[in-house]
């Protein structure tokens, strides 16, 4: 787990960029405080910050390797972990290759020499890496199937810069002549969705290599991504009475994944909330580490903490448990620092408690496991029940649907049945675009001066929906979430916020072997018996404590709807809005009115809850104050941890 930065120059003048690359490395030192270094030839400069997890004394990067007749032909920078590196090493050794280290990094470059671009299909893990072939003058960039690890890039006439953090690429902007203007369309998408969808960033000249993609380029080339992973949900019918075989396959795949994810030369812990996902991971991890430590967080406000349930689960599976309770004051003070770490804002308040529990965990361990991805793979979101509730509308003729939609549209807001009529008469491609819609278009126009009708969610989701025409309705929703909500929100905060604390987070559910089982689960075994993730719950019955099996998902809930209306955050939010220099983007008077409407609603019990919409705007304004106005200067801690923990 590390931070990489590199440049492939267009004119074989790489030595002049060694200084700019070295100067940019400190801004992502949190990703790898154990060691850093640079390497260059005439075409390439690589920079690296290392967080040592496997083969601590060796596997230094940038890593050099070559076959016997071409020593040092390749140079590698790699962020992530390859969990099947032991098996890959044995396979490659049997093919006649020798290794100088015992780590996972070397298996990538040897595998690339052996398989070429197909190496990515052999890797079981999370990764973003670059391989420079000095003999062929070719750069190969790749990112893992689900997008667990990030890769940003920018191309100018000078060359292509790529890195683990956008801020490191921005640090190279003067050296490469990069235009750092903002992307209005990306701002609209962010405000609508609560995150910036891939491959966009809020800077027009910087993009992300998408999840499940690789790119091959020569000096002077632009990055042209090639998709190698297309998640295919293909349910396999399960005869009545034979469901247990499927449940066993799920349990076996997850147990194998956790075993592989426990491979490390440092201590591995686990996050633990009150739900089935993290509890299953922790219970399986305990089998491989009897001294496992688990970590959770919460708030003092009733209804916004899973601390008690997590503690009960920890006791049931027999692990040491550490709790961090976050106060409103800590919450507000940490926001600018966290947004700096994010690179682009993500309007998910849950990343704030995640920051604090990650900081607490880093005092005890260097790696944690977590339950991200279970909902997308196994059908865990409550909204996935919607196709069942809307099924009667499938039999209604189109002309009648149009009439019903007009009736629903005419009903006053809040009228019972309005939402059902509107959603039931709206095609899935228009009504569902992930778990995170902040604004409808009327609200978006109210607050956002740069809003345009053509920049709505369908611009993001239509190409994704086009790939899932033959899937069942729940699978289509899962597939969409894999490419939107999961990689735009869930995995961004998982990577950025844990790495902010120099902590490696591993996600055993997002494993190719687990996915190969999950994608075959029939519709009626995902959403069944009035619950979600039915098959996973049945598979975990012998692993997870009974009080967790059918518990509703909460994650790390945050009481911002109350805090923004009360003494905790109202004045703070008003100050953020008034101080922000975003008048060219937002109608600030409308945002302030929305804040006051929200306060009245929460205090009277009547009216709209604007908390998520407000948080979306507030996060952007703070981001703008940091990265555009240069007005907000978060105090970033100097990371200095022992190599082994």
Q: Kindly report the number of other CB atoms within 10 A of residue 32's CB atom.
A: 24
Look at the alpha carbons of 541, 543, 546, 550 in this order and tell me if their dihedral is positive or negative. Answer: negative
> Between vectors from CA 413 to CA 409 and to CA 419, what angle results, nearest 5°?
60
Do the annotations mark residue 371 as ligand-binding? yes
Q: Kindly report the number of other CB atoms within 10 A of residue 175's CB atom.
A: 19
Q: Return the active site residues.
A: 2
Helix, strand and coil percent figures for the chain, each rounded to 5: 45, 15, 40
Q: Can you list the alpha helix ranges (DSSP code H) found in 372-413? A: 374-378, 386-389, 398-410
Do the annotations mark residue 118 as ligand-binding? no
What is the rounded CA–CA span in Å between residue 152 and residue 206?
7
Contacts with 290 (C-beta within 8 Å, 6 or more apart), sequence order: none
**Given the structure tokens 């499940």, which residue do they identify?**
212
Q: Which residues of 35-45 are buried (b: 16+ CB within 10 A; e: fewer)?
A: ebebbbeebbb
> Between vectors from CA 435 to CA 434 and to CA 440, what angle results, nearest 5°?
80
**Residue 621 tokens, joined:** 């304004």
Q: Beta-strand (E) ranges in 320-416?
A: 320-325, 367-369
Do the annotations mark residue 104 as ligand-binding? yes
Contacts with 180 (C-beta within 8 Å, 6 or more apart), sequence order: 170, 173, 203, 205
> Between vectors from CA 436 to CA 432 and to CA 442, what angle results, nearest 5°?
75
Contact (CB, 8 A) for 476 and 465: yes
Identify the three-state secondary structure at position 591: helix
Q: How far is CA 517 from CA 248, 377, 503, in A?
A: 10, 9, 29
Q: What are the binding residues for ATP?
A: 370-371
Q: What are the binding residues?
A: 104, 370-371
Q: What are the binding residues for L-glutamine?
A: 104
């Amino acid at each position: 787990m590390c931070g990489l930065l590199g440049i492939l120059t267009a004119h074989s003048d790489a030595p002049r960029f060694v200084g700019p690359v070295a100067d940019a490395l400190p801004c992502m030192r949190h990703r790898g405080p154990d060691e850093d270094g640079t390497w260059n030839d005439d075409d390439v400069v690589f920079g690296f910050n290392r967080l040592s997890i496997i083969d601590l004394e060796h596997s230094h990067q940038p890593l050099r390797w070559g076959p016997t007749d071409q020593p040092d032909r390749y140079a590698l920078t790699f962020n992530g972990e390859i969990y099947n590196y032991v098996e890959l090493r044995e396979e490659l050794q049997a093919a006649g290759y020798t290794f100088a280290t015992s780590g996972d990094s070397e298996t990538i470059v040897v595998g690339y020499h052996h398989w070429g671009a197909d190496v990515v299909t052999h890797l079981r893990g999370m990764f973003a890496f670059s391989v420079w072939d000095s003999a062929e003058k070719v750069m190969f960039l790749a990112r893992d199937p689900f997008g667990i690890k990030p890769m940003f890039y920018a191309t100018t006439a000078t060359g292509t810069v790529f890195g683990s953090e956008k801020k490191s690429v921005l640090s190279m902007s003067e050296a490469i002549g990069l235009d750092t203007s903002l992307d209005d369309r990306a701002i609209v998408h962010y405000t609508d969705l609560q995150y910036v969808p891939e491959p966009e960033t809020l800077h027009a000249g910087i993009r992300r290599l998408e999840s499940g993609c690789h790119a091959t380029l020569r000096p002077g080339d632009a990055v042209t991504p090639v998709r190698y992973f297309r998640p295919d949900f293909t349910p396999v019918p399960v005869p009545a009475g034979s469901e247990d075989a499927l449940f066993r396959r799920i349990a076996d795949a997850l147990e194998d994944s956790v075993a592989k994810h426990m491979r490390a030369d440092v201590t591995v812990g686990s996050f633990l909330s009150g739900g089935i996902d993290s509890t299953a991971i922790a219970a399986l991890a305990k089998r491989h580490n009897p001294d496992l430590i688990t970590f959770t967080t919460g708030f003092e406000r009733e209804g916004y903490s899973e601390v008690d349930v997590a503690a009960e689960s920890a006791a049931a599976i027999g692990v040491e448990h550490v709790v961090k309770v976050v106060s409103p004051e800590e919450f507000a003070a940490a926001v600018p620092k966290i947004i700096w770490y994010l690179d682009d804002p993500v309007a998910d308040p849950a990343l704030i408690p995640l920051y604090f529990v990650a900081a607490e965990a880093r005092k005890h361990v260097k790696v944690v496991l977590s339950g991200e991805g279970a909902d997308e793979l196994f059908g865990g979101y409550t909204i996935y029940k919607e196709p069942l509730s809307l099924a009667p509308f499938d039999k209604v003729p189109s002309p009648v649907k149009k009439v019903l939609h007009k009736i629903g549209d005419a009903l006053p807001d809040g009228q019972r049945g309005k939402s059902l009529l509107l959603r039931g008469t709206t095609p899935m491609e228009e009504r569902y675009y992930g778990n995170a819609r902040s604004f409808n278009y009327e609200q978006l126009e109210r607050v956002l001066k740069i809003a345009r009708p053509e920049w709505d969610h369908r611009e993001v989701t239509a190409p994704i929906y086009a790939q899932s025409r033959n899937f069942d309705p729940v699978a289509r929703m899962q597939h969409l979430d894999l490419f939107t909500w999961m990689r735009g929100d869930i995995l961004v905060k998982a990577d950025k916020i844990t790495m902010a604390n120099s902590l490696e987070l591993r996600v055993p559910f997002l494993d190719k072997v687990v996915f190969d089982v999950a994608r075959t689960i029939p519709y009626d075994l995902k959403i069944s018996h009035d619950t979600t993730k039915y098959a996973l719950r049945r598979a975990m019955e012998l692993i997870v404590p009974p009080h967790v099996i059918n518990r509703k998902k909460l994650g790390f809930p945050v009481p911002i709807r109350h805090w923004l209306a009360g003494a905790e955050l109202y004045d703070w939010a008003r100050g953020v809005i008034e101080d922000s220099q975003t008048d060219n983007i937002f109608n600030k008077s409308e945002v302030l009115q929305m804040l006051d409407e929200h306060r009245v609603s929460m205090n009277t019990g009547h009216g709209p809850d604007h908390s998520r919409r407000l948080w979306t705007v507030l996060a952007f304004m703070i981001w703008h104050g940091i990265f555009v106005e240069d007005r907000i200067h978060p105090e970033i801690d100097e990371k200095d941890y022992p190599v082994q923990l």
